[in-house]
Each structure stands twice: as C-alpha cells, then as structure tokens.
Amino acid sequence: MTNLSKSKLFKTGNVLIKAEESKSFVKQVAKISNQFIELKIVNAMVEDNIYLNIVDNNIKQSYIQKLRSKNKHLQIRIVLQGVVEKLNQVNNKKTTYNENEISVEYSQDINESLLNKEGSHIKYICITLNEEYLDENGYFRDIFKEPFFMKFYEPNIKNKFYELFNREYTSGLDKIYLKNKTTEVILYVLEQIDNKSFKVDGLDEEDIRRVKKAEVILQNTFNEKITIELLSKKVALNQSKLKKGFKEIFHKTIHNYLKDIRLEKAVKYLKENKYSIKEVSTMVGYTNQGSFSYAFSSKYNCSPKAITKKSNL
C-alpha cells in the first residue's frame, strides 16, 4: 500500500471545498477525485471540542493514510457501508469496523493509520469528543474512567443515519442540523452502553466477577497451555456461562482474546531484538512457529520478520 498523508491526499487531483466558520462552529465540505479516491467528506466542529466527520469514500487504489495523533478522547464510529480498518502505529494492532457496527472507544496517546483497500466503498460517521469536553462534563467521566472499547451490531442503523450522506451541506441551517444530529448519535450510543453495560442474561454479579477473574488469569498465563475446561475449573464457573459471559463483557471469544494477548506480547519481544522468531513464538505460548507466523500476519498485515527489520532501522 502507498503511504499518504492527509494533506498530500487532498492536494492530489480536483478538490471542491465549501467552508463556513464562526466562533463555535466550523464546517468543511470536500469532494475529491484522483487516482486514489472518489471522496465526499464533511468535517465539522459542531461545538467546542466535539468533532463530526461524515465520510463517503470510493477507493480506486490501495493506500495508507496516517491520522493526526490524539490525546485522551472518546470516539464513536458508525459504519453504514463497507469495512473500515485501522492500524495502531505503536503496537501494530489492526482494528476492523464492520458494516452495521457501532464502536465506542475511550483511549489516549493514539497514533494510527487508516488502511484503505482498492475496490472498497465505505461510508461511516465518526464523532470525537476531546479531553477538554470530557473533563467539563462529569457524566462522561463517570462512564469512561479507563480505556474502554465496545462494539455492537445494529442491523437497521442505515435507516437511522443514512440521510447524513444525502444532504448537500450548502444551507445556512447546517450548523443547527449537524449539531442536532451529532447530539442524537451521542445520546443513542450512551443509551446503548447503559443498556448493555455488564448486564448478561443468566449471570449474576458473582458469575460476572468470576468471568473477570478468568480475564486476569489469561493476562498472567498467556504463555501457558490453557483450555476453556481448565479456565472454567480455575474460576469455578461452568463452561457455558464462562464463554457466554466472556464474549458479552470483553466482546471477544476466549480464544480470540488469548490470541490477541499473545500477539501483542510478541510485538513487544520482537522489537527488543533479543530473540529469534522461533524463541518469541515459544515465549508467547505457540508450539509451532508456522502457526505463530500465520496468526501474526493475519492480525498485523506483516510478517514477524518485518517487525525485527523495522526495529533495526
């Protein structure tokens, strides 16, 4: 993939920009057609420290777009069409956002890039609430006290927000419209979080405590051979409840969670340049180097060897 900065991407080809700016509102509308993209994008600051992006991107040629670094922030992403892929530049972790999915992320010190694949047509909404806004509104601090990630599937999400993509954004009413729509999205997502947060059918508070204990065990014994049967015995919770509760609370299966821990540790060890790839695969719990390399490449879109080479530069 070609690496492109946002400025370079926007300067390539024909660009039509409509802008509006006041003390508490900024709107930029761009239509861009070049060898890489056929893009319509709306960027708006609808209120101090609240930003809205509406992206309709038909990708002609694969490219990587480095995003601006962010401090502590809350980000809501709604994908109405296609698949959005993001790569964390610090740990090489790839995150995928699928069609009809809403994701909520609270994190800090993020350096990441978008992976745009040829032939894809993606439409998504992204709302970012900066640290200053979160600090001024205690309600958010009560919910998001530590790094937080949640995704949920909404099959009818297109009907709810698709009109955002059909508007021309040339009206003087856009300020009111965009602010109201942004507030609507934030309220909708917070209500979903409130409804879903740690409420698991068939599990009481003690069951949930045992599921969380299982997560701690995985963190501390990722390099050991551990089965669901063994994990179930260690936390004294039957396998069915453990699997169901784990998926509900951590939004991953136990298998995928363990795999992610192992591969994240592998990146750390590879960057140290003290160990061979075979040694690293053993250190993180793989008994077969080929299986390790396949899992690593699938997750990070590069081989383990590429990490060691990059660390040598």
Beta bridge partners of 37: 59
Average of per-residue pLDDT across 69-83: 86
Does 51 score more than 70 pLDDT?
yes
Predicted TM-score (pTM) of this structure: 0.62
Asked if 153 contacts 196 with a C-beta cutoff of 8 angstroms, the reply is: no
Two structure tokens written together for 209: 């405590």
CB 95 within 8 A of CB 149: no
Would you state the CATH architecture of domain 2-196?
Sandwich (2.60)
Instruction: Tell me what pLDDT residue 313 has.
Output: 45
pLDDT band at 5 (very low <50, low <70, confident <90, very high): low
Nearest to 73, CA basis, from 110, 20, 125:
110
Residue 39 near residue 31 (C-beta atoms within 8 A): yes
CATH for 256-312, among 1.10.10.60, 3.40.630.30, 3.40.50.300, 3.20.20.10?
1.10.10.60
Residue-range domain boundaries for the chain: 2-196, 205-251, 256-312
What is the rounded average pLDDT for all residues in the chain?
Answer: 85
Q: How confident is the model at residue 8 (pLDDT cuts 50, 70, 90)?
A: low
Condensed to tens digits (0 to 9), the pLDDT of residues 14-37 reads 677 788 888 889 999 988 888 888
For residue 176, the model assigns a pLDDT of: 93
- Residue 15 φ then ψ, to 5°: -130, 130
Four-point Cα dihedral 169, 105, 271, 298, nearest 10: -80
**Among 117, 116, 113, which Cα is nearest to 66's?**
113
Q: Which pLDDT tens digit goes with each residue over 171-221?
A: 889 999 999 999 998 988 888 776 655 556 677 778 888 888 998 899 899
Percent of the chain with pLDDT over 70: 89
Beta bridge partners of 65: 4, 114
- DSSP bridge partners of 45: 26, 51
pLDDT tens for 114-154 read 888 899 999 999 999 988 888 887 777 767 767 778 887 77
Rounded Cα gap, residues 102 and 78, in angstroms: 5
Contacts for 95 with CB less than 8 Å, ≥ 6 apart: 85, 86, 87, 88
Contact (CB, 8 A) for 278 and 289: yes
